[in-house]
Structures are given as C-alpha cells and as structure tokens.
Homo-oligomer: A and B are copies of this chain.
Amino acid sequence: MVPSELDKALDGLVKAGFAGNKAELARIALTHLMSTLPRQMSHGYDLETAFSPDGRLFQLEYATECTYRGGSIAGVCCSEGVVLAKKLIMTPLMVTPNPFLKVFKINNTIGMVFCGLLPDGYLIVEEALRQMRVMNGLDIEGLAGKLFLFTHPFTQRKDVRPLGTAFILGGLDAEGKPRLFLLTSYGYAVEYRACADGMGREASKSILEEGYRADLNLEEARALAVKAVLRKKARAENVLVTSIDAKTKNFTDATVDERKRLLGRIFP
C-alpha cells in the first residue's frame, strides 16, 4: 500500500464513522499497539507473585501503587517522644474520631497508622494487638519484626494477593526511647527518625527532610508531621495527630482545637 493510498484509506475509515478524524484513528491504533506490547513483556510475571526476567516482583510493585492511592501518613521521632499523623478525607456524615480510620493505639506507648487498602491495614492492626496480648514483654522493635514476618507470606504465596498497605509504627521501646518504623507492602521495614508514605509521599518526605532537626520538641514534631501529611492548608477535621510523650508516657490524640492551633501555626 503506497502512502497516498494509505491516506485515502484512512480518510475512508473516518468517513465510514470508525473515528472522528485521522488523528483519532492513529491514536486508537497506537493505543491498541501499546496495550499489546507491554502485555507481552510483562504477561504472566505480573499476574501472580513471580519474578520477572529482570528480577522484579510486579505484583508487589502494583500493591505499592495501591498504597499511594489511599491517604497520607507521617511519623516524626524526637527526644521528647513520637508523633503519628494521618490525613483524613472526610465524606459527608462520617463520624470523627472514626474507629476504623484513626491513629490506632496498640498499647499505652505504641501507636500505628496506615495508608492504602483499609481492610489490609486493619488486619495488621488486629495482628499487632494480638501479638501484644500473646507475647509478654514485646517492645516496639520486636513488634516491628513480628509484623514484618506476618506480612512476608503475602509477598510470596500465589494463592493470596499481597497486602496493599503501608504503615508506620511509632512508640517507646523497652528502654523508653522513642522509635519509628515504616513497613511497606513490598515487605520492607526500616527504622527512621521521620518518615511518610501514601498519596503525595514524595512531597511529604521533602517537608520532613527540610524541617527535621534532632532537637525538635514534641510540639514542633507534631507541627512537622501535620505539615508533612497535609502539604497545604486544610481543615482541622482533615488531619489526625497523636503524640506519645517519652517522659509522661501519655498517648494523646490532638483535639480539634489543638489541631486548629497547629494548622494556624503551620499555614498562617
């Protein structure tokens, strides 16, 4: 087929109503081609938890994508204590504090907050509560290890999908020292001084990196965590922030008024 004939054929197809114009037709054809190519390259390796030729686990990468779709979370650790924050997307008539969308209290000095798939996150909260009940003297580092192992089979078995959630565990360890752990759906667990995940995580991390100082006091840490999850001005109802005080060992959810005050300071 010569170019002029191709051109005419395309015109004919447009006239016949297959597409609005030739550009659209080309777009359809390209979309079709594109949807074919990647499928051949990843087909199979990404349908179940198997390695691709270049050693990637697509299902885990896709699960990670899922954690970027649901909510923003952040944690900040300082010598005075630990802070956990969560951006809350309110739907009309929703109750706050909501028992399924909050900073969960695992025990008096450990809290947990997750982003991504709500049921998967809640499953891990329940596992954390169970671990604290059955294991005497488990501190926050030990709990992080247990939850790490709890999530491992979901990164390896082919009869279940991976967990689509990332979570931050914050609290005091056996010696009363503030600690902060981030565990992701990919199965990674790392200790941080301050961390964030979920929607807009890159911007959140930049805020933390800019604002973090080793000598933050608890009030400053709260402000930093709130800033990291919100990133821009929002209503007090749209953020949850909880702090665990290393000295008093208090586990405190900030009231709406406290959150308003924090917001006023952060986004004046």
Contact = CB atoms under 8 A, between A and B. Distances in A.
Contacts of A67: 55
Interface in A101-135: 101, 117-120, 122-123, 126
A5 B3 CA distance: 9
A37 B43 contact: no
A209 to B, nearest CB: 5
For this chain, the copies found in one complex come to 7
B193 A93 contact: yes
Given A47-B50, A122-B189, A209-B92, A35 B26 contact: no
A158 B156 contact: no
Across the A-B interface, the 9 shortest Cβ-Cβ residue pairs: A3-B12, A55-B65, A119-B187, A55-B66, A51-B62, A95-B191, A6-B12, A17-B26, A44-B47
A63 B59 contact: no
Interface stretch (A79-87, A143-151, A232-240): A143-151
A32 interface: yes
Given A2-B8, A7-B16, A54 B65 contact: yes
Contacts of A59: 50-51
Interface string A22-65: 11001011111101111111111111111111111111001111
Q: How large is the interface on A (under 10, 10 to 19, 20 to 34, 35 or more residues)?
A: 35 or more
A55 B192 CA distance: 26
A68 to B, nearest CB: 7
Greatest chain B CB density within 10 A among A6, A26, A43, A44 is at A6
B94 A192 contact: yes
A93 B37 contact: no
Contacts of A54: 62, 65
A15 B3 contact: yes
